[in-house]
Each structure stands twice: as structure tokens, then as C-alpha cells.
Amino acid sequence: MYEKEVTEVEQLIQKQNQWRDNCINLIASENVLSQRARSQAGSDFAHRYAEGHPGERYYRGTSFIDDIENQLKTNLKILFECDHSEVRPISGTNANEAFFSRFVNPGAVVMVNSTPAGGHISHHREGSLGKFTKNVIDIPLTADGYHMDVAKTTYLIEKARPKLIVLGKSLFLFPEPIAEIAEVCQRYNTKIMYDAAHVLGLIAGKRFQRPLLEGAYLMTASTHKTYFGSQRGIILSNMEEDQWRRIDRGAFPGSSSNHHLDTLAQMAVCTYEFMEFGEQYAADTIKNAKALATELDRHGFDVQGKEFGFTETHQVAVNVRDFRSGEKVSKTLEINDIILNMNMLPHEPLKNHDRPDGIRIGVQEMTRVGMGEQEMGRIAELIKECIVDKKTVIEEVNRFRSKYQEVRYSYDKIKQEKSQPAKSEELKN
């Protein structure tokens, strides 16, 4: 009866695959799986349940996923040098809620990065945190808007005695000053939660700060941004065992039931890839972000954070108010198959959320398909030609991207020498 409609859905899926393979994908919260990891989707695990812990399930028939889950938890503890790893959350927000639900009492004071400052929606009154408290205070910023004002934050901790301070951002250019506030937080029993969703791969690759070693109580994250895993969430910590049991109950039954076993199995594959290739990948990603920021600045764009070297992550933030708005710029680029998102910047009022001044660029996906610093220069040129010169560049974008179709830093082609980024012949010559 619905054969035609099913065929239409299948055609839409194929169109998506073909389209995005020809785009310059710069969404800062996305990445691509290796073919080896991607091929594990849709296994029998997609049909199955496994509530509880390995060896202690509420369902039978889980012996193989038990082995996979145990391997994954052990590898994450090795990779992040921590005592505890929780892998059952199915998203970063799900992981955040698992913690909030057990550690944030009604009315508790919590300090967070504001939305314009880059704080994630799950950290705010309108998101997961708001289900448990409405006493949410913004973390003070320095004049540039991209760094915490440590002195003012320390003063607020002393006066407001927050239960929790949530660090980590969606617009995330520079490390958070965990060590600088750890002592005052410990004095007033303020727990530091670090949402590493965007920078998890950079942390795993030993190219960014080390939150748990610097004083964070725990770290949550999604697993598909700079960490090139399947779309899931994790919680990591060195907390005492009795406190970790509260996290355990927050994850199940608190915020999840069955935890999507097919993507868990993929995550196990991706984690082995990161254990082998992650350090080089993280280094190359940050190098590429700096190169793209430098080239955009050279072309006259108002790239944020210039006085601090633009960025220490995978992200580049640009104020495009001179070109009407981030919404306008991102739509114009999308028409030309350059995909990124509009984004509020720290100086903006909340009312600007649907027409912000900024765009946010992430280089992690294009790094993974083999682009390096020279290619970042070409991307900057294409953005300039499209936005400043008002040229149609879609054909050149597609031609350029066609040279970068292999996912690197993976076991897809193990003979690649540590998956070093390849340069196109065009750029070599």
C-alpha cells in the first residue's frame, strides 16, 4: 500500500548521502564515522535490550553486548585516566540529566556559562538543569567575552555558595580555568562539572586541558564531535564509589532504559580507532582551526579571539554583522554547499538568538577526510568569494570536496601512515 512512499524515503536518504559527501561540512557539533564503524549499524543489536549492567541484566541473551560494553568502559578509563566510566546515556544531554537528577536539589544554586557565552541549552533554566532548579547564575566573563573572569567568579562562589558550577561550552574556543577555581570550590563544597561534548576528542588526544586532573568532579560529553564516535553520551569521574553509585542510578533507571546497543557497539570500534589515531587527529584538528581562522582574518573577516591566537579547539567564531547576520550568512553559504551554523556571540542579548551576529565553524569533520592547513586556506577563500564578493561558488565547492572522500585516522586503510592528512594534487602543484 505504501511502497511508493517507502521508496521516496529511501530516495531522500540517498540524496542526503550524496549531497553531504559533496559539501564542505563545517558544523562544529558533527563528525563522520569510519566505514568500518559505520558498517556495524543495523546489526542484531539494533533489535535488543540490555537494561542494567553487564552480568546483571534484567534481560537474557546479552552475553555478547556484555563483552563489548565491558571493553568499552575499560578503554575509556584508560584513555581518560579515570576510575569510572558510564556509557549508557544515549546523548550528551542525557548524560547531563543523569548527573543533575541525582546531585541538584530543588532550589540549589548553580553557576553556568550563559547562552551568549556559549553555554549549552541543557545547562539552563529552559533545558535539563531547569527541571531541578531555577536558581541559575551566569559565570562572569572577561571583557573579550571568551574567558571566565576568575576574580569575579571566585567572589560569587564565596557569596552565593553554589552547589554546582557547570563548565564547558557549545561555543568553545579556549580552555576553562578549572585549576584556578578548584580551591575555592573545594572550600565551599561546590562541585565542578565539565561538559566536554565539543572537546572530548581533544582531551582524549592529549591536546587540550585535562579536566579531571585539574579539579573537575566529573566530566560529561557527547561522543560524536571532536571524538569521532557514534552519537551517544558518556560520564567520566574519579569520585568516591558511594557517590558514583548515585550516577549509576541517574543513568539507569533515572534517564534511560535500553541504551541503543547498536550504536554502543559502534562506539567500541570508534574508541579503538581513537586510542591509536587520536593524538595525531587532535593535533591536526587544532592546527587546522588556527589556519582557517588566520586565513579568514587575512581576508578581512572579524574573527573572534584574535588577541589570544583565535582558538585552541576545533572551532572558529566570526562576527558577520557587517553582512547582515549569522542567519543570512549561514543560509547563503548553505546554498553554495558550505554548511555551518549561525551562533550568538558573548556580547549579544538573548533576543538575538534567531538572528545572531555570529557564525560558528568547526574543522573536525574536514580534518578527518584528509584536509590540512593548505585546504583550510582554500576554504577561507571560498567563504570570502561567496560572502564578500557575492559569487556563486557551489561548483567549485563540489569539485574541491570531491577530492576528499576517504575517512582517515581509522582502520579503513590501516596502511595509511598514522592517517596523516593528504594534500590534493591541485594544492601541491
pLDDT tens-digit series, residues 40-66: 999 999 999 999 999 999 899 999 999
pLDDT of res. 261: 96
Residues 264-275, mean pLDDT to the nearest whole number: 98
Cell of 393: 561558488
- Angle, helix 241-249 to helix 92-103, in steps of 10 degrees: 120
pLDDT of res. 429: 43
Instruction: Report yes or no: 314 and 286 within 8 Å, Cβ to Cβ.
Output: yes
- Summarised one tens digit per residue, pLDDT across range 150-165 is 999 999 999 999 999 9
Q: 110: which strand partners? A: 136, 164
pLDDT of res. 428: 47
Q: What is the share, in percent, of the chain residues with pLDDT greater than 90?
A: 89
Instruction: Report yes or no: 407 and 369 within 8 Å, Cβ to Cβ.
Output: yes
* Whole-angstrom distance, CA of residue 20 vs CA of residue 24: 8
Residues 252-268, mean pLDDT to the nearest whole number: 91
- Domains of the chain (ranges; CATH) run 37-269 (3.40.640.10), 278-428 (3.90.1150.10)
In angstroms, the Cα distances linking 60 to 37, 44, 56, 65, 256 are 26, 15, 10, 11, 19
pLDDT of res. 351: 86
* Whole-angstrom distance, CA of residue 176 vs CA of residue 359: 21
pLDDT of res. 357: 96
pLDDT of res. 124: 82
* Whole-angstrom distance, CA of residue 161 vs CA of residue 189: 8
Residue 72 pLDDT greater than 70, yes or no: yes
In angstroms, the Cα distances linking 203 to 42, 171, 323, 379 are 30, 16, 35, 26
Predicted TM-score (pTM) of this structure: 0.94
Ordered DSSP codes for 15-63: HHHHHHHTSEE--TT-----HHHHTTTTSGGGG----EETTEESSSS-H
Cell of 244: 558514583
Residue 416 pLDDT greater than 60, yes or no: no
- Summarised one tens digit per residue, pLDDT across range 302-356 is 999 999 999 999 999 999 999 999 999 999 999 999 999 999 999 999 888 899 9
